[in-house]
Structure 1
Amino acid sequence: MGQRCPGLAHARGRSPARPSDPAESSGVNVDQDTFRQALLDPQAPRPAGLSDGHGQDAGRRFDVYRNNVTVALADALETAFPTIAKLVGAQNFKLLATAYLRQHPPTSPLMMFYGKEMPAFLQSFEPTKSIGYLPDIARLELALRHSYHAADASPLDPSVLQSTPPDTLMASKLKLAPATRLVRSQWPIFAIWAFNTLPGAPKPTMSAQDTLILRPDLDPEPHLLPPGGGAFVAALLEGTLLADAIETATNEDPAFDLSAMLALLLSNNALTDLKD
């Protein structure tokens, strides 16, 4: 079952304009480490010797800039992790985002890639580390972004599989599209994501779930995999021969349905090549 992500293209768009940096325009030599530490910590003192470019103390201007940067980065994180924000609540997410950006300031002006450390952060952050499923939800939301920004690839013609002799097919490798992402979890992450994202989605029940993210067109779509499906896709991603991938899947679940799995991949343009 696949679900389109509403508004994903807008949410993953270009980064907001960066506010003018008082350290760049002041003409005063301010230690950059000190400046960054003060910028991301409202309790830190203002950098000594920082002026506004006219010989005046830049204290108030720095405070405004610091607040703007904090708000912009927190907004970028909320855009990147909307399900996490909904699960913990708006006010709690603001506190979480502020703590995150102090530990993990951005290293690129492209906010679409900001937040890669979020799963590990949620595991160690005191207010959230007892909520076991949150890191995997963050992994799912990261995977959606990465899938959106992955390279395009031409899909494999289904007739190639149909015309390949079975023995040759089993001894071949199926190549998956660059946008393919797999998130395996002991938690019902697909159900949690859907319940907090899609109108009318049922309430999650406790079960392990593997989620496959495919991008048949412009937007990536999460799919809940049946038992054995996660093991099969993981094996394909590792470059395993098709016969071995099937064996891995059936070892996990004897009822694994290869035909249904291949139909899912083909219908979503997820297969790009068949290699010996």
Structure 2
Amino acid sequence: MSAQHTWAQALLDPSQAIPQGLSTWNHSDPAKRLAVHRNNVMVSLVDALAQTFPVTQQLVGEEFFRAMAQVFVRAHPPRTRVLAHHGLALPGFIAQFPPAAGLPYLADVAQLEWQRLQALHAADASAVEPATIAALLADAERLPQVRWQPHPSLQLLRSPHAVVSLWAAHQPGSGIAIEDVDVARSESALIFRNGLDVMVLQADDGLTALTASLLDNVAFGSAIDQALSADPAFDPSQAMAVLIRHGLLIGARHPH
């Protein structure tokens, strides 16, 4: 075991022994100084998680969240110095965390918040010009083979719970009362960045299926078929209007 790994374990786990050779410049008690440093490290990591998952924290309360986050940090220490990347495994951790079992939607709310962070930090890209999209849509022969390139920030969330409404109910000015949310209702959302703002757009079954296909680089004709299978009332024109309006199509590959 490397000295670096030993130090990392000692910083995150108070049950670990003090690393050998530890000393202080002023001859104070090394164990006490390590405890102070350990506390500072843990507080910083938990604070970073609280900033990434504010609604998750609100749903369980600060005390519960911080206790859970400490267990998570010890089980999943940071692998990068970029704290914005720390938290990838938290939704999965919550899903298996016994004290949170009474809130089956909590892991998906955390997933939504994580995806918002990924959308925020995604690369910039310009949308396809409307004239180019119009020309492609008008070419009935080649259109089924077109493969649209989605915006780098575009994320898709599917949940058996009303996580979009739960998240929205905790946003200022949403007008949604949390007690009115039917958490047992399944919801899906497109998550993306529009300018400097990260958007969470609730999506019906057809738009969800279409977006999933486009993210998987499926040809447009097959993507439409999959959307119709998910929702027989699916309207391709309306769905494309949503994607175009939000600048979520940045390119297209099609047979020459």
Using the TM superposition, give the Cα deviation of residue 180 of structure 1 relative to its aligned residue in structure 2, in angstroms: 0.5
Which of 169, 178, 181 in structure 2 is aligned with 1:195? 169
TM superposition score normalised by structure 2: 0.91
Calculate percent identity across the aligned residue pairs.
Answer: 34
Q: How many Å apart are 1:179 and its aligned residue?
A: 0.6
The letter for the 2-side match of 1:253 is: D
Q: CA deviation at 1:54?
A: 4.8
Q: CA deviation at 1:51?
A: 0.7
Match of 1:17 in 2: none
Secondary structure of the residue aligned to 2:119 is: helix
2:224 paired residue number: 246
Distance 1:44 1:87 in 2: 32
- Does residue 176 (structure 1) correspond to residue 153 (structure 2)? The answer is no
Give the match for residue 5 of structure 2: 33
Does residue 232 (structure 1) correspond to residue 210 (structure 2)? The answer is: yes
Unpaired stretches in structure 2, ≥5 consecutive residues:
none
Return the match for 1:132 from 94, 104, 125: 104
- Aligned letter for 1:152? D
- Once the two structures are superposed, what CA deviation does each residue of 1:190-221 show, in whole Å capped at 9, x if it has no partner? 11110122432243223111110121211210
Query: How does 1:111-190 map onto structure 2 within 5 Å?
Result: 111-164=83-136, 165-190=139-164
- Give the Cα separation in 1 of the matches to 2:143 and 2:47: 48
| Bigger fraction of residues in helix | 2
Distance apart, 1:171 and its partner CA = 2.0
Deviation at 1:55, TM superposition (A): 5.2
Q: 1:62 aligns with which of 29, 34, 39?
A: 34
| Residue 170 (structure 1) shift | 2.2
Cα RMSD for the two superposed structures: 1.7
* More divergent stretch after superposition (146-155 vs 156-165): 156-165
Quote the Cα distance in structure 1 between the aligned partners of 2:246 and 2:44: 35
Q: In structure 2, what is the equivalent of residue 204 of structure 1?
A: 181
Determine if contact 1:215/1:270 at 8 Å carries over to the other structure. no
Report the CA distance between 1:156 and its aligned residue.
Answer: 0.6
CA deviation vs aligned residue, 1:23-78 (integer Å, no higher than 9, x gap):
xxxxxxx9333322221123444334311135554222211111111110000000
**Deviation sequence 1:122-151 (CA, Å, 0-9, x none):** 111121134221121111111111111111
Counterpart in the other structure of 2:244: 266
Residue number in structure 1 paired with 2:235: 257
Distance 1:41 1:111 in 2: 19
SS in 2 for 1:222: strand
